[in-house]
Amino acid sequence: MERLMIQVPEKKSKLVKSLLKELGVVIEPDIFKLAKELNNSVGKGKIPSMEEIVKEIRIVRANP
């Protein structure tokens, strides 16, 4: 299963949530809980430099 975080305009929130629920999507009620869980899942280690990030992005874009 994949987790996605989306931003929905307030005026469309109820409609979007109902459509997603009809498709079987589970709506996470506590976004801060989800954000903390995602942050904890990332291993601690060396923080990449901007050059390393750019290099990785270029590699990914070059191989569609």
CA distance 58 to 50: 12
pLDDT given for residue 22 in this prediction? 93
From first to last of its 64 residues, the chain has per-residue pLDDT tens of 787 878 888 899 899 989 999 999 988 777 777 777 777 777 777 778 899 889 988 888 888 6
Quote the tokens at residue 21: 């629920």
- 29: helix, coil or strand? coil
Residue with tokens 């750019």: 54
